[in-house]
Structure 1
Amino acid sequence: MLAVQPKPETAKSLDHVVLLVRDADAAAAVYERLGFHVRPLAEHEDIGSRNRVVHFRQTYLEFIDFEGAREDVAGPYMDRFQLGEGLVHVSLTSDRLEDDRARLEAIGMQPYPILSARRRITLPDGSFGETASRCFYLWREDNRYLSLFFSDHPKPHMIFIPEFVRHDNGATEVSRCVYMSTTLAADRDYFSQCFGSEPVEENPDRLAWQGPRGDLTEVLSPSAAQARYGELLTLHTPAPLPGVGIALHYRVADSERSRATLEAAGLTVRELDEGSIGVAAVDAVGCIAVFESLEAESNF
């Protein structure tokens, strides 16, 4: 096991989350029914993948469609389709990718080369701009879809656009990202190295890291995932994979507004512990959608 030496200046928060889909437009339609505002289709100019994006204040959700993309980039994602569409990859924040690659290499990890993820976008005034986002992967082969990657945004004003954070369901931020895994001991080591911090909670069925912004990343055993989410969870285990992302929680100021939006769209809304409400994975592109109030999210 690698020794973890957390440093406050290296601690990471969620940057964005990626849902692997077969058709980005179809996935966007599902999320629009959930009350999210989804941006038009765009293409990563150097990778060839297509995406549609849901913006939040400091994070974003990306539906990625690899049709026509570079095989060296798309290939590692494809086994995720054994469990259908859903949460496939999560990026952590980086102030500068070169610094984070050097940090990870120094502790014996093997980060991939830096990629350009630039894309042309439509701005709120109707004009066009181009992002300057970059990333590097840190794929693991023992539990591939609990791999993390890192992103920086030299032009953040082209990514974090306040006018696009206007969702009918009242969501303002991704508050937690949740995985189901059968390899928690290995996950603990890998995630601690990536986050630059130790778990804020750990027991045999649950690990949790908290980013500097307050966001949570959790890894649950299959039994713990089933106990929390029940019928919202499509999978009882991640088999044939060792692990997979299962849920995204969204911060809302008014959960009743969220409920009204969801029910008006004909969706079944379930009560969860801690006063939050959820929509099943089958109705949310393979990833449970949970809307939690500011009060509920603090009680993790």
Structure 2
Amino acid sequence: MAKDTFLNRKVILNSKGKLIDLSSPAVMAILNLTPDSFYANSRIKGVDDALKTTEKFLNEGAKFIDIGAYSSRPGAVDISIDEELNRLVPVVEAITKEFPDVFVSIDTFRAKVAEESILAGAHIINDISAGNLDEKMFQTVAKLQVPYVMMHMKGTPQNMQENPTYHNLVEEVSTYFSEKLAVLSNLGVKDIIIDPGFGFAKTISHNYELLQNMERLNSFELPILVGFSRKSMVTKVLNNKSVDALNGTTVLNTSALLKGAKILRVHDVKEAIECITLIERIKNP
């Protein structure tokens, strides 16, 4: 197991023979192929727009491009597997052809979508449900042997914000990951990233309690991904809109980096890279 200076944490992942080095934090850029994403400015229309935006993200320093075609915002419309694939596959093929060195992540909870996207050239599966919404997902990940991001969530995108409750939030999130990791380990899945699921089945208070105690998740010795970008946990506290939430996002990203986050999933790559650069300089003056 590779080591970093924070913990004896796994920081080298393997995707189809391509090594992903997370010894320093990295940025995952959000590429939305959905017409109803909560942040309107992030919506991509077609392959050409996706290529242009990807080039911008890579020039600004993104290591990963996270492509999603199913909106997971609270109350989002459910779409068919075929529609999700029709949105995803042409973009995955175009991006991996145009930018062969990029790491493409697929934001889906459906095993068939995950598998076909990986076969089309993607490298990572990013599952908001950690296998809960498709019983075939874990077996699919084990068969494909690519890095797997599993997120904490209860319910579905359609109902997850209907009065989410916890007796002990941090303990329940930790137990959730422990149980999932045991299953994945038995299936032979080696490269796993955990995502606490900020904004998913959590109130504003839950989100901040989880962030306050996020360093407890370092006990898993796995890379941690966080996604705060322009979410309601920023806008509802600052009483602004997503279009005005970049500064608040940066504050939360800073806090997460200090607590051990290895991947920032964001809409705004340049600012996230600057955040990482300064935090790394603080650690290594």
- Same-fold call, TM > 0.5? no
TM-score with structure 1 length normalisation?
0.31
Q: Considering fraction of residues, name the structure with more strand.
A: 1
